[in-house]
Structures are given as structure tokens and as C-alpha cells.
Chain A
Amino acid sequence: MANVNSPKLRRVYVWEQPVRIYHWLNALVILVLIATGFFIADPLTIQSSREAADQFTMGWIRTIHFVASYIFFFNFLFRIYWGFVGNKYANWKQFIPTSRHFFREIWSVFKIDILMLRGKEHLSVGHNALAGFIYFFMFLAFLVQSITGFGLYASMSSGWWFPQLFSWVPAMFGGDIFLRQVHHLTMWFFILFTLFHVYLVFYHDYVEGRGEISSMGGGWKFIEDDVFEKHMELPNEPPKS
């Protein structure tokens, strides 16, 4: 079996520690927000003979939702900040299309990975352009969910000024009824994203064999030499396929 070409792999530090911490914190709070959100929308009934005064089930669920909301929101702010100071794989340009070949790469990924047409495999170092573009929408969803969430929260919070920054929101949606609907429907975007995302991470791990899954753990990916060289020419730019 000598004809198998075994490429030389280089280890690349793709995901810096702050990005990894951000990622897992984010994944955790989103799962918590989805779970508690479901309960808020459609509570379980506790057919208990205990008195209301003895329990606070839904109260806790809401509290958890709100605590997670704060973590989620500031974590998100932090990630935006890191988009300006972090390494090139974390840079905001990875998400917002700024050049023609960004779109070209999206198309090529779409052809090869989604439609499974034959073609030249693209290989990227960070995430590919399509993934980046989807994360862009993901970030928009973060924004929508934060604005609608804190908009709902503003009138319930009597604590400090921060939620009050969102008190204009219900008026924009004509009231809480529609606002809650938007908040609720956006949750489904998160659920579907998570499903896609986790699948694709496994997919890449499987078809590329560069340690995709573990990269979000230790930060390292293993990149073929030739791909590595091509990418050196393009600092801060999404790679050509």
C-alpha cells in the first residue's frame, strides 16, 4: 500500500482559549435557555397538594432563564470584542462577506458538501466560508433574541438600568403578545442551528480527518502542508478553495 500519499500535517492553533471558553459557555447557556424557554411557554403541571407558598418551581425556571440570559448576552458582547482583537480565525471578517471570493467559496462549499456534486475539495483552516456566513446569521439571531428577550424583561425588572435600555422594544412590536411570539419562534432557529452545527462538525471530522471536534477543546487543528502554504498568502482573508 505504498501508493497512499500521506501528507505532512502541520499543527495550527486556530481557536484561542477565549474563543473556546466563549464557545462552550455559549453552547451551555443556549441549551439552558431552550430548556427553560420551553417550560415558560408550556409549563408542566405539578399535581401536588403542596401549597403555593412552599414551592417556586416556575419562579426558579424563570430565574434560571434570566440568569442564563445575562451570561448569554455578555458572552456574546465579549465575542464581538474578540472579533476585533483575536486571531485571524476569530476576526469579524470571517463572518461578514467582504470580498468576491468569500461568496465563491460559499458556493463551492455548497456544491461539494451540501449538494455533493463532484469538484475540487476546498480546505480551509478556520471554518469555511459557508459556515462563517451561517454564523453571521446566528449572530443576528443572538441579537434578535437578546433584544426581544430584554424587551420582555424590561418591564419585569425593577433592579438596574441595563434592562431599561430595552424598554422601547415592546412598542416596536406593537406589544408583548407579538414580541413573545417572535422570541419563541427565534428559539426554533437555535434548535435547528444546533442540530445542523453539531452534525456538520462531526461530518467535517469524519471526511477531513483533521481533528475538527477536538479543535474546540484544545484549539489545535491539523492542516496539510500545501493547504497551509496557500493560506499563508492570505492574511485575514478567507482562503481560496
Chain B
Amino acid sequence: MDNPTAQKSPTYLEEFKRKGYSRKDFLKFCTLMAAYLGLENSSVGQVVQALTNKPRLPVIWLHFQECTCCSESFIRSSHPIVADVLLDQISLDYSETLMAASGHQAEEAMKNTMTKYKGEYILCVEGSVPTAADGVYCMIGGKTSLQILEEAAEGAKAIIAWGSCASNGCVQAAKPNPTSATPIHKLLKGKPVIKVPGCPPIGEVMAGVIVHVVTFGRLPELDGLGRPKAFYSKRVHDTCYRRPYYDAGLYVESFDDENARKGYCLYKVGCKGPSTYNACGVTKWNNGVSFPIQSGHGCFGCSEENYWDNGRIYERASAFPGFGIEATADKVGKVALAATGVALAAHAVMTNVRKKKLIKNLEKEGKQSEQELKK
């Protein structure tokens, strides 16, 4: 297919030159980018190739049930810088947060991209879709979010689910999920959905995912849950700098205690790092300044499915659905243990009552044998 943007759009190399960088700088950038994406040196050539020839990638970014923190996080990206992403790498044709146009003009901008770049644009979705009450809990321009999502997904080359809202429903899907907030992969069949969970995801991770698509023209490799392996292959616990304290058995007992000042492990004040897959321990936040654990608060698993209902923030033991918020596995276990103890004791007593005859016979038999042996 003829790409209508191929002639008009500046390539990345052109952009670079125009900004006064040399080709050498450009190669250096590509190497950095490749390293950032976790590529072998041999594929650097591929990055150079991609950035030199491609027109800007059309992007439609929708907002549904969300808090816009994903957009906010995205603009915090330091590498690449978001101004450069917006001006040089993608064409953000629809974004309720940033676009100049409103109302009809905004809707028209989206329609233009959907027809002109059918099959080529990337659809980014921030927020979940409420399916209760025929979708009236989120309406834009008089349409439901479900209608808009289906229309926009139709011609999309790929779909990115930003943040926990779009990937797993996030806070509005927590019990009792009054609006039936639904993550988008459950509503779109037959389209690849890249999930970038986190509340929000790290800005550099978001930009990294986009850059991956721009660079390689294909989607990043995903894990079993549909997340890019490049950022979600390790648990926070396995990349946490406090891990030696965990292994040593040195823990913070309560906030601001002596152990907290020493930077001990936060496991006992509820850290969910051991069950959370995210890049926080490595990439860290806001250009590597810190991450929750480094600032003294445990991870509460913001990139994991259903994390709002999986137990309390400051408790390690897992709460069990269906037993009320109080019930943790161990409480259930202890009750069962007590019940068992009582049942067994009762059984033992009953045995001696109800099976008196049988036991007596056995005893008699035994005593008789004993007697016979004495003789």
C-alpha cells in the first residue's frame, strides 16, 4: 500500500540534521536507544534504518474511565523527551489532554486519521470501559465509550492499553465495581493488545513502548499476560536494592522506626514487591530519581491485576475474597485448625464410648495372650 505520509513527512535522520546534530550523534542516539530496548549490538543497524526512513506514526489516544495520570506520566518521560516524541516521532492526532481542537473539530480530527491512515495508526487507550447500563457511565460527544472504542479499534494497526485502568480495570473495577468497569482486551477480539500496566506506568516505559513500535515497525514481545517483556519480566523484589535485608531477615517493623531509618526491607509493613512485575527497581521513577521502596513505602503492586482487592496495603498476609476484608489465609486456617482439633478430640472420646465392646474384646484378647505366654 502507498503510504501517503511517505513523501511529506520528515524522517528521523532529517529531524536530527535539522536540529543541528551530526550523523555521528544520530548513530550514538540509536545505540543508546537500542541498549535501552535491550537489544544486542547487531540490531543497532535495524534501529538506524527504522529511524531514518519512517514517517511519523499516527496515534489516536482515547480517554475513558481514568484519572489522566497515564498521560501525565507519559509527559514526564526523560528519554526520550516527550516534546521530541510529539514533534518528531509520532503524530498525536487525537488526545483529549493535549489537542488544540475541542468538540466537533476534535471528533473530526479523529475521523480524519481513522480514514486516512486506516490500518496504520496506533490506538492508545487510557481508562476502562463501563459496560453496565448500556455504557452510559462514560459518554463522549454523546456516544458511549464502548461505541467509540469499537470504532477506533476497527482500523488500528495495534492497540496499547495504558496503565492499570485499561489493562485490568484499576480502582474503579475494585469491588463492587459499580459501573462494570472493564479492561479493553476483554472487549476487543482478534486485535493484539499491548498491556502496559501500572498506576501509572513509568513515563520512560510508556515512551519506550511507543519507540519500540516506531523503531521496529512491530510490536514488542509480550509475556503470558500481554505485557512487554522488556519492562515486566522481573519482580520488583528481584531487582530491589533492599533485597539483601530481606535475605538477611532484617525488616522494618513500623514506619519511621530505627530499622526504617536504616533502610531495612519493607516486607513486614506490607511490601508486595515479591509478587509484582514492574521495572521500578531498575528504571525507577522520573528519570531514575527514586521509586516507592527507596522512599520508604512498600510497593503495593500497582501493576498487578486486581491489586485493589488483593489484601490490604500494609499487611503481608493475603486477604481472601468471599471471607470479608478481615479474613486472611491464616485466619481461615487457624479456624479450620481449631475445628479439627475439637473434632478429633470428640472423635477420640466417642471412640472409647461407642466402640467400647470392640476395644474391650481386643484388650481381652491381648491380655489372654499375655496370660497364656506367662504360663
Contact = CB atoms under 8 A, between A and B. Distances in A.
Interface in A169-214: 170-171, 174-181, 184-185, 187-188, 191-192, 195-196, 199, 203, 206-209
B275 A179 contact: yes
B361 to A, nearest CB: 7
Contacts of A168: 224
A219 B64 CA distance: 68
A41 interface: yes
B317 A45 contact: no
A234 interface: no
A110 to B, nearest CB: 13
Nearest to B244: A52
Contact of B250 (A41, A48, A209): A48
B368 interface: yes
Contacts of B244: 52-53
Contacts of B369: 6
Interface string B329-349: 110110011001100100110
A154 to B, nearest CB: 10
Interface stretch (A54-62, A75-83, A101-109, A140-148): A54-62
Contact of B355 (A176, A196, A207): A207
Interface in A150-179: 155-156, 167-168, 170-171, 174-179
B354 interface: yes
B277 interface: yes
Given A184-B329, A192-B337, A206 B235 contact: no
A43 B268 contact: yes
Given A52-B248, A155-B238, A177 B275 contact: yes
B316 interface: yes
B340 A196 contact: yes
B318 A58 contact: no
A46 interface: yes
A233 interface: no
A108 B194 CA distance: 57
Give chain B's interface residue range (CB within 8 Å of chain A): 35 or more
B276 A181 contact: no
Given A41-B317, A203-B351, A175 B267 contact: no
B337 A191 contact: yes
Nearest to A210: B362
B366 interface: yes
A175 B336 contact: no
A195 B251 CA distance: 33
A170 B316 CA distance: 19
Interface stretch (B91-99, B118-126, B298-306): B298-306
Contacts of A192: 336-337, 340
A155 B233 contact: yes
Given A53-B244, A116-B355, A45 B250 contact: yes
Given A41-B317, A45-B250, A176-B276, A171 B223 contact: yes
A181 B317 CA distance: 8
Interface string B242-282: 00111111110100000000000001100010111100000
Nearest to B264: A52
Contacts of B108: none
A116 B354 contact: yes
Given A181-B318, A207-B362, A155 B248 contact: no
B29 interface: no
A45 to B, nearest CB: 5
B364 A180 contact: no
A121 interface: yes
Contacts of B251: 43, 45
- Going nearest first, the 6 A-B pairs with the smallest beta carbon separation are A171-B224, A176-B275, A57-B249, A59-B247, A188-B333, A181-B318
15 contacts: A41-B316, A41-B330, A42-B316, A45-B251, A45-B253, A55-B250, A56-B248, A116-B354, A167-B224, A170-B225, A184-B317, A184-B318, A195-B341, A207-B355, A209-B362
Given A184-B329, A195-B337, A203-B347, 5 more contacts: A6-B369, A155-B233, A184-B317, A188-B329, A195-B340
